[in-house]
Structure 1
Amino acid sequence: MNVQFSKPPVPTAFEHDEFDDHENVLFARDRKSGLTAIIAVHDTTLGPALGGCRIWPYPSKAEALTDALRLSRGMTYKNALAGLDLGGGKAVIIADPRQDKTPELMKAFGTHVERLSGTYITAEDVGVSPEDMEAVAEKTRHVRGTRATGLGDPSPFTALGVFEGLKAAASHVFGSSDLTGKRVSVQGLGHVGFDLCKHLHEAGASLIVSDIHEPAVQRAVSCFDATAVKPEDAHRVDADIFAPCALGGVLNAQTVPEIGAKIVAGASNNQLQTTEDGVALKKRGILYAPDYAINAGGVISIALATPGGGEQAVRAKTLAIAETMSAIFSRAEEANRPPEQIADEIAEERLNRRP
């Protein structure tokens, strides 16, 4: 007698803890190029879902799905809070950007983006360069951050917005936006993290830097007279401000009790691993700058730039991030609630006003 045991059902995106009424979740494969990708469209209430493409060697497809779902929802709120008529989406490609990325892989990704008929607009994110987006643009019109669509690389505007928001946080906590002598621990030295270091150095801050890529660390040490630490120690060091600029989930049950700074303000997406971690930060008297509010400069640049220009309008709206952050901090203090809850409310107020 043959006894057959059925495999337990594999959880679908609908059953995932991070599923939040997403409108569309696409699992994309291309054997020839090696592409394995997930494109998540969260909400198109305000317009097409705009969000970058991230390339990362996720340990599992489940972790890639978690990132895609969380990041796409974050883009909905980011775009709403920034006052953009755009929804939220995100793409993740499971690959090592230093070893597996090829023009063919990016073109294959572009083909899948085109099949979504404009409901998702892609752009660069972690592991993706402006040159990669040019390859994507060969296969789809629904791409931003290229030479043909405006200002190209959005990372300088992301860094500028984080810098302005960080100064607003300093003003709220220390009574002044002057960063002279302030110790800032920057974790992650990619395009955005390095540009942020440049702004901070020019503003007179003392830098502590970390990254998993040692050449990036040495470059920052040389350029900014920075002190290098291991990435896993970046949150623990004696600093005034901790600026996470790598991957998400850095604020969690293990790290929050160890944070040595009075402010957390950085460029990473999804910094809070859970909502409880934001509450824990507040209980410790640490001001958290909601990530999707402070790092909106990049999406502003790819949304508002026009072919051949638009930098003045982009810069003005990016500088206004400081006002947005100040409003969030003040409203949170008045309500005695964590800032990320207030940021969510402001974004949801705009989403709910849309017919």
Structure 2
Amino acid sequence: MTLGYDTPLEDFLSTLAELGLRRASFHLADDGRTVVPSHPGLSDLARAIQEDGRDFAAHEGIFMEVGRSTGLLMTAFVHDTRRGQAQGGLRYWNYPTIGALVRDGLRLSRGMTRKNALAGLWWGGGKGIVARAPGDAHLDPGYRAEVYTDYAEFVTSLRGCYVTAEDAGTTAADMAIVHAHTRFATCIPPAVGGSGNPSPATARGVVCAMEAALAETGRGDLRGKIIAVQGAGNVAGYMIDLLVERGVERVVATEIDPHRHAELTARWKDAPVELRLVEPNDASILAEPADLLAPCALGGVLGPATIPTIRAPIVCGAANNQLLDEHRDGAALHEHGIVYVPDFVANRMGIVHCANEQYGYVKDDPAYLRHFDADDPGSIQATTRRVLALARDEGISTAEAADRLADEAAAKLHPIWGHRGRAIIAGLVSDGWAAAAATPS
């Protein structure tokens, strides 16, 4: 069958089995444009990726494997490794089609390249995705152990071109399982020498970006402000605590999980927080009158259907890939007079918290704390100001300004290892990585 973006995930897995494959890969040719598949039967999908003008951006490699124990599709997306090996979190999520998974991986990995570069980290951009099966098997701890063992073995096979970490659908306990089976992992539990939960640091960083955006646009600080928050998950929960501490007038937030809603309602019973329980596709919070809107759920929420409804002058949140289409929707926010702080500017601390944990820990580490220091030229506040100033001075969107600054930084080669990630990928391809796990005929 022809494999395209609209191919159901189950059909893609069936096609791999028919081709006798457990692995598939797509790598960037030397011309910097052509996507080369590991098997002729994957040529149509390679063409769809290559022609994807929205999400494909000369990604160096895409790797896929059917989990040995679970049969789930394990993937790793490597965007740009000039600053170092690709690093980014592992998402465990539902995808109806192979295209939905691929486009998510392409966008998220590119976002990690930009996030790492603007944060001054010597890491490239990558993303891991495990396609979750329908049903509730993912709630069973024993099954999850199989899933993350499968993924760890997959990551090990990639020789370090991608280093995985925690992301949506993956917990600290899951990362402990990953780390037990591969060295190519960060965001591991403190009990084994890791940095632990990055959510408090991420939340603190987003609040720093909010404060910088308010100040840069002449709106003062957070005191007395009304903040609308989409999603009250791990990061947003800590973020709302910080907003209350800073004296906001009110926080209006939404949550889709009834258990989480009940837990947080009790936590904030004496705080100026209104928490609404909503259906998963309810985006009404985006139209809430507020001084600042913070998207903190999944990505793609800012697009043609929602941007005209926004009633806040500033958008700054923790969610990744908030723009459905970065060029179109970044420009639309600019045209509507809305100041948008790109996610990879605001939420960097998730990766900063864990990226370099292999170098050990220093009390009151200046390499870590500088990101929160408004006077440091590389801090979250300074970067936010720089993005907003560039956009204002050149009459461009803040999305375009942030992309320009990040892409310039991403082009710098690692001072010790150079473009090592690309060399690792070349070795995987020349050694027949995908064919090495072919199923018996």
Q: Note the 1:128-147 alignment, pairs <5 A.
A: 128-146=170-188, 147=190
CA shift for structure 1 position 13: 4.1
Q: Note the 1:141-156 alignment, pairs <5 A.
A: 141-146=183-188, 147=190, 148-156=192-200
Q: Tell me whether 11-20 or 181-190 shows the greater mean CA deviation.
A: 11-20
* Larger Cα-atom Rg: 2
For 2:160, give the aligned amino acid. Answer: G
Aligned to 2:369: 316
Aligned to 1:284: 336
CA shift for structure 1 position 277: 0.9
Aligned-partner SS, 2:166: coil
Q: Note the 1:221-236 alignment, pairs <5 A.
A: 221-224=265-268, 225=271, 226-229=273-276, 230=278, 231-236=282-287
- Match for residue 161 of structure 1 among 200, 205, 229: 205
CA shift for structure 1 position 268: 0.8
Aligned-partner SS, 1:328: helix
Distance 1:251 1:130, change over 3 A: same
- How many matched pairs? 348
Distance 1:98 1:136, change over 3 A: farther
Q: Confirm or deny that 1:176 pairs with 2:220.
A: yes
**For residues 313 and 179 of structure 2, what CA distance do their matches in structure 1 show?**
43
- Match for residue 304 of structure 2 among 253, 262, 265: 253
- 1:240-271 C-alpha deviation (Å, 9 max, x unpaired): 11111111100000000001111110011111
CA shift for structure 1 position 200: 0.8
- 1:16-38 C-alpha deviation (Å, 9 max, x unpaired): 21222111101121152243222
Q: Confirm or deny that 1:194 pairs with 2:237.
A: yes
Q: Confirm or deny that 1:217 pairs with 2:269.
A: no
- 1:286-345 C-alpha deviation (Å, 9 max, x unpaired): 100011111100111112335763463354133121111111111211111111111111
- 1:116-158 C-alpha deviation (Å, 9 max, x unpaired): 1111011000111111100001111010011335311112211
**For residues 9 and 137 of structure 1, what CA distance do their matches in structure 2 show?**
34
CA shift for structure 1 position 352: 3.0
Q: Tell me whether 279-288 or 300-309 shows the greater mean CA deviation.
A: 300-309
Q: Note the 1:1-12 alignment, pairs <5 A.
A: 7-8=1-2, 10=4, 11-12=44-45
Residue identity (%) = 35
Q: Confirm or deny that 1:293 pairs with 2:345.
A: yes
CA shift for structure 1 position 8: 4.2
CA contact (8 A) 2:83 2:412 kept: no
For 2:313, give the aligned amino acid. Answer: K
**For residues 21 and 14 of structure 1, what CA distance do their matches in structure 2 show?**
13
For 1:100, give the aligned amino acid. Answer: H
Q: Confirm or deny that 1:44 pairs with 2:81.
A: yes
Aligned to 2:16: none
Aligned to 1:3: none
- Match for residue 124 of structure 1 among 162, 166, 185: 166
Distance 1:72 1:35, change over 3 A: same
TM (normalized to structure 1)?
0.92
CA shift for structure 1 position 171: 1.2
Task: Extract unaligned runs of 5+ from structure 1.
Answer: 1-6
CA shift for structure 1 position 94: 1.4
**For residues 203 and 137 of structure 2, what CA distance do their matches in structure 1 show?**
26
Aligned-partner SS, 1:106: helix
Q: Confirm or deny that 1:15 pairs with 2:48.
A: yes
State the Cα RMSD in Å. Answer: 1.9
CA shift for structure 1 position 83: 0.5
CA shift for structure 1 position 99: 4.1
**For residues 244 and 169 of structure 2, what CA distance do their matches in structure 1 show?**
25
Aligned to 2:147: 105
For 1:282, give the aligned amino acid. Answer: H
For 2:98, give the aligned amino acid. Answer: K
For 1:180, give the aligned amino acid. Answer: R
